[in-house]
Structure 1
């Protein structure tokens, strides 16, 4: 009993390439996509490299007035000291209680520090008044006081803490106090004691120096101020004196290595002593020394100084100047190596995490400018991504959009920062490692918010659409962007607002082409946006005007057209060469949109859209504008799939065929393939079939069967199927050797491409309508039966001939992947088997009938 599929195939009718509105199987969908409707791919727009490192390049839309400068001079006198907020002018009331410090037992010195507390007598406390800020003067380094031996340091600092007037005459001589404490002078304190013994030594020396007066202060802990003073004099001061000892003359360059080493050691020592940040009481003197070294003019040294100064939590004008100093260093590509594996980038990232980012907005601006320059170096990209730069910048983006919405006092400053920020993200988006951050940190929605808030800022918009054009070439990012509510309306609004900004427009339409390439929902969501068709067609018309020009002065390139038509609007406009890329990307959007049945039918019925596509083909040669012409033909091919009465493609089928003939005569194989696909759809019309036969187009089609390209053979078979519908054309095709060439295609490509094998069988079916014995030569019939028997049994036996050995290799390639194997199996069962079996039965039946007629009674 025959299967439903076989019964359907038993109808003795020719095969047609038609678009029947019914539910399709998965294999049919694959075949349809290959045969008729195709998405169009294109290269991402080229972005020229800017050799000059500036905050805002020459192409910036910002006026040079009022924007932060990229060049400036920085010296020591530009910095301020001390770096702290002015005092309030109020003094705290002194404490009234006076804690006493008794001594623990002599044999328990290890626990001594736990019982000691600082004296709280108002007369003994160092009161801090209001502070004021004055700029530093440029000049030689101010020398520090000579370093005292550790013993003198302890005595002087302890005497300041423990020298009330009532105690002055009660301290015994030093020799007696040392013996009482059980220590000799040489054992007072080592140069760098371990952290566990440091406090104990200090306590012993203070007790040794102050004697019994300390006992009367009551129990408590050792004063932190004294610890810091001792640590400063013994650990920090030597390094500061070493910095100041460098000669200020011609030999300064020879001292840079030494100064950088000292600065690095100083950074470590301050960290060990917990003196980084704003906790150090002598911070102002430290900063003064560091600021003075900036005048030495070494980029390497300045970067080391900047890292240390940022670690001291400078603020205000000093923070701004340090960020400007780092920015100035990063402007030279020769200094990029200084930032390689340098923690200065961590320090800059900490600036971006300021609680009120707009209060230090200008510092953040120059900080972001540095990141923009560094991210332009491919060798530094991975380092920035690994340090969490993408996540930090996306978080900063959200804070800026929330705190500086349009109308805010700092909106302009926020825009300046976002120019640098989005340019940095644009560079970071090149790395595959950065893409998860854009997806996990709500990066793409945040960037859409920035686009919405700064839609009139060409610099910001261009940077963001560059990010989108990069990320949308990857499936996961493209899907995420396609699902953002309002993104399509936002893109259309940008196209309307910045229609003449070619670098911006080309990236928006490229992104739209990516979104509509694989997602039918994206096609329909873009289509239903208000003014979508008008915006896209208006853009098409505008750039076509720029892309066309008269052939000679006063001579139109086409006959005069009635006013109001597209032809009339396009005449007389000269074209700049840089708009072609916009047309390439824009036509790709139309081609991808037309895959949707709803959108495709509407576009096929739009006269302006079809006319503009034809105009492109009329005035562009594939030899000079290959991608533009191929995209235009692909768009016409997709539109020609819809054969409704209202279709403008159907109404203009003969002019389209004329244009396709130009491509068949070219030497461009891609152009010939696209033209053949259009012929496959248009040849459903008898008018077109007659035209093709009259102008010998069928000869080109038969010749293409020898191309050894399965896609070209597939398209050629589609045209031949339609040509063999007419009885008068079958004999003509047989005379051109079409049958033998079809058998060669079946033999060469069958096991590896069951879709193509099915199409060959359909063509042979139509060719055998007049009887296989009459239509085919004897050797052709024998080869066809041999191949059909082989393929229908799916047994590729090498004993049938050495020519069949390669079939096993082809099938093996197709069936290695599980997904491909399933598709391959489905194509064989649902496409090839019914047609091939039906064809074989017909040939057997006709041969049997012929034998019966030739057998004598």
Structure 2
């Protein structure tokens, strides 16, 4: 009792915060944490095991002092810190109010084996990928053709040699005549290629100097015979001269086709780094209209797409910035709490990536992005008055694909301000409604842009408008593979937006039409009997929309009473868990985890709903009983540890509801949780152990569950868990175990039975008394400081060290508050038991012999957040 008096006297000297102030705002709560973290950062002592885990997260809690026992909400909110590894992946997954964000992979787009303009896409009236360019000379000349003036005297200019020594001295007419000597040439030697290339370079230089005075028709006629040459250098040189002439119409189209022909082969990419052909191409497109000269735009944007897009098959996986995958393997002892890891980017060829970035930088500097946005606006304006079809529609297809390729590279290092294109791409997706191939390409571009912070900042203002695109997608009732791809990417884009912006969650939920479309699509996908990868992927992405939307307290509370949403999630939970029992696939596993993530967030708010309001048919609130029983069934047959953790998280939120606790225990939930904890008592799955204890705290809040828990030898289990956590100096886990023991000992009959047996409570009392000894804690810290290999420290560090040595571990302080109250309750129970035996003749006196130290000590404790 001396230790209790010592701890209690110190508690009375600390300021006690009022209950009303127990829940500060998020901004206020961060300030004392930051001050405490800054204070501990300079200390060089080795932190305890549990403190090390929090330090890895960069989220070391401040502790609330010894003035009061921390609420369950504050305790379990700290548990969420253990659910990730490092500040990068873990922090974005956390949200206020016990809800958390759900991540997923980027939808995988099948790659074509080579560079093709359309691939397997079948668009009506599409231009051919193979073409003839024998009409370069067909454009009428701007000026009348004139014969070259001949000098009346003097010798004629000698013909230049093949080495090109006299090319600069030759007239333009002479250069054209030299080119005509190679008319119709296809295969040629390197020497011939070099000779022709020299002539074309000289001709290009003259055209650039005399843009207005050159004879365009005459020059184009000389270039006519070289368009069938097999040499890519010659073709690019011809295209440069043609573009330098500022041609339009069919000649501009021919030049774009020449460049496209070279760009189709990935081995020719290096040629585009040797000269300014890309800049000339952008200049040429600047004089073209996607409505009047669509074919030129098609091949030009196809060329840009080829040159800036990677051909690596795993590029989509390498850019999954929004995906955090679960790891079924047990974590190492050095990093017990972490079971989530970021999928590391696959290595990309540095040379290839550098080449792409160089080309993208050149395009950006020359205004390619601004030109693409301008063409996009022109197509949208035309589509607003008349449905796009034919070549303009194909231009939109290639333009959006080129913009997607730019976005892929820009997310590495480039800054192209592609966020300016986001509103126009959304309008393009609306304009192309009914043209699935084109709309799919536009939505693919938007989904990639949604991964970028700046683009997502722009897109979040259009969240509800993007949601409206879901409606017509399933209007026909049947979902093709292409339609599923559109739904998947719309869901991925919305999930990214709702994961980052609070206003977008509220905006989307309050748009009744968008919400109705989302529910309709979820229902239709759930009714399909097939389990194709495309269908599962679309379901994953759309359920993630619900999960990330429900992070907002207002939205999450209201979604609990939305028609059919609970029924859809419950049906997916049953179907997916049953399918995983038969055959485990990654897609089924991810769908199950996404569904559990959505249920986790929705269940958090359901105990706050008034019971008098009418419940919508198929809503989550109307299916609490079925959901509790289903979770118990799935948990009993679940083979993987990662899925068990997700189930325990859902149960941690759901069992705060009294009806849910009753139904869960009625389905055998209490023995199931004891079984899981018995397996994990000495296991390595820290996350599952922590979540399961949190569920147990809630279940023991009901008096009728305490007796069965004792029959299941639950008290011995809690004692074992407490010893293990204290021996590892895991003050956080010990804190939760003490909460469970507190709820158990509230029951007088249970306390009396445990006092009679004596051994369990004696062991718990000894453990608590031992680890509540501050001298023992400080001596351990001093021993660790003695082992420091770097004794040389400046004055500021030494002062911080002395402060750290005199100040107890913050997590230990939080544990000490709960443990002190628990130890006092155990002592009171022992005293009450002794008085009851010594004064058995006066039962009424024995009940009043030991007054309660605190009027709040007999209150149940529930886990507020899981």
Q: Same fold (TM over 0.5)?
A: yes
C-alpha separation in 2, matches of 1:131 and 1:246: 23
Q: Which residue is equivalent to 1:836?
A: 816
Whole-Å Cα distance in 2 between the matches of residues 394 and 794 of structure 1? 66
**1:328 matched to 2:233:** no
Inter-CA distance 455–852: structure 2 relative to 1 (3 Å threshold): closer
Shift of 1:244: 4.9
Shift of 1:766: 2.8
Q: 1:734 to 1:251 in 2, by over 3 A?
A: closer
Match of residue 589 from structure 1:
545
- Higher mean C-alpha displacement, 580-589 vs 346-355: 346-355
Contact 1:39–1:595 (CA<8 Å) still a contact in 2?
yes
Report the more deviating stretch, 263-272 or 512-521. 263-272
Q: How far is 1:720 from its partner?
A: 1.9
In 2, Cα distance between equivalents of 1:721 and 1:245: 92
Instruction: Name the SS of the counterpart of 1:72 in structure 2.
Output: coil
Partner of 1:519: 501
Indicate whether 1:361 and 2:343 are aligned. Answer: no
What stretches of structure 2 of length at least 5 have no aligned partner? 1-11, 23-64, 83-93, 158-164, 312-351, 790-796, 798-807, 839-866
* Residues 550-589 of structure 1 aligned to structure 2 (within 5 Å): 576-589=532-545
TM superposition shift of 1:505: 0.8
Give yes or no for contact 2:246–2:284 (8 Å, CA) kept in 1. no
Contact preservation (8 Å) 1:456, 1:497: no
- 2:667 equivalent to 1:704: no
1:58 & 1:38 partners in 2: Cα distance? 40
Match of 1:71 among 130, 141, 153: 130
Specify the alignment match of 1:634 in structure 2. Answer: 597
Equivalence for 2:137: 80
Deviations, residues 456-479 of structure 1 (Å, cap 9, x unaligned): 332332122212222323444323
Distance 2:629 2:255 in 1: 69
**Kept in 2: contact 1:717–1:760 (CA 8 A):** yes
| Structure 2 partner of 1:386 | 361
What displacement does 1:603 show? Answer: 2.6
TM-score with structure 2 setting the length: 0.67
Match of 1:766 among 716, 719, 743: 743
Matched, 1:681 2:664: no
Distance change (3 Å), C-alpha of 1:479 and 1:316: closer
Pairwise mapping of residues 603-614 of structure 1 onto structure 2 (< 5 A)?
603-606=559-562, 608-614=564-570
Is 1:716 aligned to residue 692 of structure 2? yes
Work out whether residues 639 and 649 of structure 1, in 8 Å CA contact, stay in contact via their aligned partners in 2.
no
Q: CA deviation at 1:656?
A: 3.2
1:669 match: 641
Structure-1 residue corresponding to 2:104: 42
Match for residue 450 of structure 1? 428
- CA–CA distance in 2 between the matches of 1:248 and 1:534? 63
- Which secondary structure state, in structure 1, belongs to the residue aligned with residue 408 of structure 2? coil
2:550–2:559 contact (8 Å) kept in structure 1 = yes
Q: Deviations over 1:595-624 (max 9, x none)?
A: 233332333224522122221222223333
Q: How does 1:26-175 map to 2 (within 5 A)?
A: 33=95, 36-60=98-122, 62-63=123-124, 66-75=125-134, 78-80=135-137, 83-85=140-142, 152=155
Query: 1:82, 1:581 → 2: CA distance?
Result: 51
Q: In the aligned structure 2, how far is the partner of 1:520 from the partner of 1:796?
A: 48
Moved more, 714-723 or 322-331: 322-331
Q: Is the 8 A contact 2:400 2:441 kept in 1?
A: yes
The one of 624, 627, 631 equivalent to 1:652 is: 624
Matched, 1:785 2:769: yes
1:627 is displaced (CA, Å) by 0.8
Aligned pairs (5 A) from 1:368-407: 368-377=301-310, 379=352, 380-389=355-364, 391-401=369-379, 404-407=382-385
Q: Is the 8 A contact 2:464 2:508 kept in 1?
A: no
What is the distance in 2 between the residues matched to 1:251 and 1:40? 58
Q: Find the partner of 2:717 among 730, 733, 737.
A: 737
Please give the per-residue CA displacement for 1:330-357, whole angstroms capped at 9, x wherever unaligned.
3344444433444221111111211755
Residue 736 of structure 1: how far off its partner (Å)? 4.5
Q: Distance in 2 between matches of 1:694 and 1:315?
A: 78
Q: Does 1:346 align with 2:279?
A: yes
In structure 1, C-alpha distance between the alignment counterparts of 2:788 and 2:554, rounded to whole Å: 42
- The TM-score, its normalising length taken from structure 1, stands at 0.67
1:382 shift after superposition: 1.5
Instruction: Say how many residue pairs are matched.
Output: 668
Q: Report the alpha carbon displacement of residue 48 of structure 1 after superposing the two structures with TM.
A: 0.5
1:425 Cα deviation from its structure 2 partner: 1.0
Question: Highest CA radius of gyration, 1 or 2?
Answer: 1
2: distance between equivalents of 1:852 and 1:611?
Answer: 51
Give the superposition deviation at 1:582.
Answer: 1.0
The 3 A distance-change label for structure 1 pair 440 and 786 is farther
